[in-house]
Each structure stands twice: as C-alpha cells, then as structure tokens.
Amino acid sequence: MFTDFFYLLRLRGLSVSMQEWQTLLKGLSLGLHGSSLTGFYRLARAVLVHTESDFDKFDRAFVEYFKDVKSFDELPPELEDWLNTPIDPVEYDISALQNQGLDIETIRQMFEQRLREQHERHDGGTHWVGTGGASPFGNGGYYPGGIRVGGTGRSRSALQVAGERHFRDFREDTTLETRQFQLAFRRLRQFSALDDGPKDELKLDETIRATGDNAGRLQLVFGRPRRNTVKLLMLFDSGGSMWEFTQLCASLFQAVSRESKFKDLKTYYFHNCFYDDLYTKPTCLHADSVPTEWVLSQLGPDYKVIVVGDASMAPYELLSPGGCSDYYTYNKEPGIDWIGKFTSRYDRMIWLNPLPRDNWDRGYGSETIRIIQDRVPMYRLTLEGLQAGLRALVAAR
C-alpha cells in the first residue's frame, strides 16, 4: 500500500525506516486517518517525520505524490452550506445500516458518484451525502467508518495544507537567526577532565543515590565541574560583496558572544582575504589593525578557527603580492600564502560561506572559492552547513 510513496519520501531526503512504515500501515488499518486524505497526511507526518526541520520536505513529497488526487474537501458551495447546518439527528439501528463492511476504495468511488448525481439537500437518509443519517458520506450520522464531509470535524484539503508549506522556515538549509546560531554553537563544546580543580559542584544524581544507600539520611556528593575547554578564533570578511550579509554576520557574532562558555574567544576582521594585517573592528581601518603574524604567534595551535566570508574576489587578490584591494595597503605575501599559514598552524579550521551553493561553481568568485575550498573545508552558512562544520571542528583526528 502506497509503496511508491515510501520510496519517494526516502528519495526526497527523509530517513523513513521499514518499522516506521509498518507502524503507519497499522495506523491505517485501525482507521486512525479518519478515512480522509487530510487524516492520512497528519498520521503519516506524525509517524514518519523525525524532526520539524523535515516537515517541509514531507509536504513537498506529499504534494508531489498525491497531486492527481481530487480532494473530497473541495465541495460545491451549496453542498458545503447544507453540510455545515445539520438537522437534529434521527436515531438509527446501527446493526441494520446498509453498505457496512465496504472497503475504503469502494466508499470513495461511491462518494464521487454521489457528488456527480446530487443536486439538493439530504438529511437523515441512507444514500446521499447529508447530515444526521446512516449514509457513509456526510456528518452527524451513524455510519461506522465512512467519509466525514462538512461539520465541525471537517478539515481543509491535505494537498492544500501541504501546498501552503507552513514549515518552510523550519528547514535546516535556511539562513539563520541569532537564536538558531546559539543553539548550533552548543555543539562546539569539549569539556575538561574531571581530575583538575576543586570539588565544588553538587552532583544531584549521585547525592540521591548516596542518600538512599545511607538509609535516607542526606549524603551530599560534590564533584569537580566540567568546563568548556574550547578556544575559538573567528575571522569575519567585512565590506564589499559581504555588505548584503551584514545582518547575518551580526547575528552570528552576537550568538558567539552570548555563548560565553568558551575558554577563550578572539574575533578579527579582514576584507576579501587576510593578508599582513587583521583588524579588531569591522570597519577595517589601519588604526585598528594588528599584524597577522602576531595573532598567529599569540594564539596557539589548540584554537579552533572559523572563517566567515564569501571567498569571492578577483584571482590576483588571492594569488598575487600587492593584491589587497586597499590602495594604501601593500601585502608582501599573497593571501593564499596567509591561508596556508593558518592551515599549517591550526588543525581545526573551517570556512563558512553565505553564498548559495550553486554560486560556488559559476559566476564571479567561483575561481577563488574553488582555490580556497581545496585548502580549507568550506560549508554553506545555513543551519545544516554550520552543524556539519562544527562537527568537523570537534571530530577526533
């Protein structure tokens, strides 16, 4: 049943297991979908989707698969008015109802036939789409397992709900806000060993266990706190083609600053590429400059490095001495050599690029992006890309 839908979901990036698919089929056999496409949509999403960031993938796959299905919720206005103003129900002997035991496909075919033939209101009957009766179609009636249409329980078309894509902003490949940045950066934690420092942190679970072992008499257990030992160096490209990403970079900077549990955090700025000098402010003025060689000498190889920039520039800016675009600044060594100095000193270094992934392979800047990408692992500045980059920074080597 719906086997093609199962494979389409997996093809569109949803990790649906066979056990989850069997659970969905069990739910259908129990009637948890309410014999409607909308009910099936909600049941399938609840069972098969693991995280809200995949809701949009599910919606797109759902619309793709069921695009040719005519929704029973799309009713003629006159019929919809009848169904939403039901009469008082009439008592029926449920055991005597007609058409019991019909499978859902047969009931669907009967329903479509009724819609083609019906031209007036019907209430309390056993055949037409109506209210308060024993027909398999309508609402407020007594037929077990039919198709509910209209009334307070009616939903909009599942295809319409999925097509509106309410969960577009939940996707992990969207650009980020400060809060999302903060949550992502919590992955970048490596804790100190527990054999250094004073034992001044209450261990709740151990205290409960020790108190129980002590016949209920309070036994406090203290241990050494675990502290984040990560040292982080961040380098931001500022100005020029990065102006359109100013707000995005500001959100990233705010998130890193608020995530104050790093053992040390250093932030510097550059324009297009880092050369002989880095800057302490995004304006990149000479008065705010520090020698790049000094930064390399002061910050040891235990720092993790994140570079944020579009890596897009004229090739000579990256490959030539004097390639710096600042007229009053002459770089003796080309930018690519400075990148090499950073990769030689720091084992853990990534580059976050805010440009859409398609732009990396064509158009202005694609040549320098390729050159830099060959030397520094590059990830797109989305939630998915950031999480992948942070995992690379903390992975064992």
H helix runs in 228-376, sequence order: 246-258, 292-298, 315-319, 335-345, 366-373
Phi, psi for 115 (deg, rounded to 5): -65, -35
Can you tell me which residue has the tokens 């019907």?
Answer: 122
Query: What's this model's pTM, rounded to 2 decimal places?
Result: 0.51
pLDDT, position 148? 52
The pLDDT of 174-185, averaged and rounded, is 62
Q: pLDDT of 190-241, one tens digit each?
A: 544 444 556 767 888 888 998 988 888 898 888 766 666 788 899 999 888 8
Q: What angle do CA 141, 66, 61 make, to 5 degrees?
A: 125
Q: What 8-state DSSP symbol labels residue 54?
A: G
End-to-end CA distance of the chain: 46
Do 375 and 381 contact (CB within 8 A), yes or no? no
Q: Which residue type does 328 have?
A: Y
Q: What 8-state DSSP symbol labels residue 123?
A: B
CB atoms within 10 A of CB 76: 11
Q: What angle do CA 95, 98, 102 make, to 5 degrees?
A: 100
Distance CA 239, CA 248 (A): 13
Sign of CA dihedral 150, 152, 158, 159: positive
**More confident: 272 or 153:** 272
Neighbour-count burial for 32-71, b at 16+ CB within 10 Å, e otherwise: ebbbbbbbbbbbbbebbbeeebbbbbbbbbbbebbeeeee
Q: Which residue type does 358 have?
A: D
Do 173 and 167 contact (CB within 8 A), yes or no? no
Do 234 and 269 contact (CB within 8 A), yes or no? no
Residue 250 clears pLDDT 60, i.e. is over it = yes
Q: What angle do CA 280, 286, 290 make, to 5 degrees?
A: 45
pLDDT, position 309? 93
Q: pLDDT of 298-349, one tens digit each?
A: 999 999 999 999 999 989 999 998 888 776 678 889 999 999 999 999 999 9
pLDDT, position 12? 84
**More confident: 379 or 250:** 379
Mean pLDDT score across all residues of the chain: 76
C-alpha closest to that of 273 among 304, 299, 320, 237: 237
C-alpha closest to that of 137 among 175, 104, 161: 104
Q: pLDDT of 12-61, one tens digit each?
A: 888 889 999 999 889 888 888 777 777 888 888 889 988 766 777 888 88
